[in-house]
Chain A
Amino acid sequence: MINERFLKARENVQPEHRIFVRKNLALIEQIFHILNEKGWTQKRLATELGKSESEISKWLSGMHNFTFQTISKIEAVLGQEILVTPRQLTQKISASVDITAKKIVGEVLNRVHNEPSIIRYDASLDLKSDGKTIIIEREKKMILNKHLPAIEVTAAKVKYVDNTSNHDTSAA
């Protein structure tokens, strides 16, 4: 059962109210994700920020109105971005995809150059990104050789770190 007065309040909610709450919750989720990765407690975060634990607890309760100044301080102590714009995200993904594409082109050229019997070489990737890393869920290669049957090679879950100056590849 949904209370009628609550239903009425829901009708009065404007898009900006939903955006505010959802962005806030997403920001908190990102902070907790990084805390878990780093093995930090809220207490450690409070200490690093020079704030009390209760203050940080309130920040992470879901309704704190974060300022850019606060976000910047949190990013500074965590050493990671917690707020990324769609354009920044596109640039990061593009950079990572570009690296991957160059790697594939290089590999294809190399194979064709060294093995003249190859008449066709296809490569395809299924990509997924959470904004921080690019996961190649499936990497498929089809190699047609004049003298040999077609070779199909499939790799799954290959991870590329998005940092263009320090990209890393590893097969899962």
Chain B
Amino acid sequence: MANKKYRGIERKQARWGFLFVLPSMLFFSLFNFYPIINAFYTSFFDKRALSKLAPKFVGLGNYERLFRLSTAANPLSFYNSLRATLVFTLGTFIPLLVLSLILAVFISNLSNNRAKKFLQISYYAPAVLSSVVAATIWMIIFDPRGLGNQWVNGLLHTPGVDRRWLVDPVMEQVSTMIIYFWKYIGYFVILFITGLASIPPTIYEAAIIDGANKNQTFWRITLPLLKPTVVLVSVMAMLQCLKTFSTQYMIYTNGAPRAPINVITFNIYVTGIQQQYLGRASAMSVVLFIMMMLLTLLQFKTTKSENVDY
């Protein structure tokens, strides 16, 4: 009888809980689930942005076109977008992960609190800058007469050499990686600092008493206990890199060639917005969605371990 009464209260509380969660669930469904489902649905149709005619059902036609082997040689094909996305993700996500961890450890170990705060703000500042401001800064740097050439030539004592930051296909990809790295490193440093702060200092004190040096402390204590944060940051960084768009868009609109940096999201933009093929762009979005799901699952599986308790 008492048990029944208890269950009744629980249900009542759950009902209230559900009511409180409902607005955000509706919001989330409207702005996340609906577009995802709609993109899946649209990907089976030949839908043009301006057409008033009913979209024509093409089954897997849009997907077949994306992966048609005869288009593989076209530098603006979807195959090239897959390549560009993978190169960008690997070239950005690994340095982001490693260097943000190193910087976070360095900042956390600083004894001067003002210096700590200053560095945190400095690293984070680019993340809050608007794309327009970032574009202006980097176009000044990458202009052939800009600071990029001046710095590198000054450093290497090679006056007058144009490093072709936005011209050479390899340099263009490196330039996008540098910009992205600059913009997001601060965000991941803050995440790591938060993770580091949650490790109880008593563990370090015990290790020091036991005679551990700094190197041993980092590899045996900090890194294992930071594993949940490392997994979180690596998943977030990878997903962010796969979704990169504004950096490539900014470079392209300033005159750089498209093919080397034609990542999937940029291809989606060009196909859907500029060329008006909404069905085809939706198929690309679905492929990107599946890629992101699979890579995230893989990452969770490979880094799965016991929970860390202090």
A associates with B: no
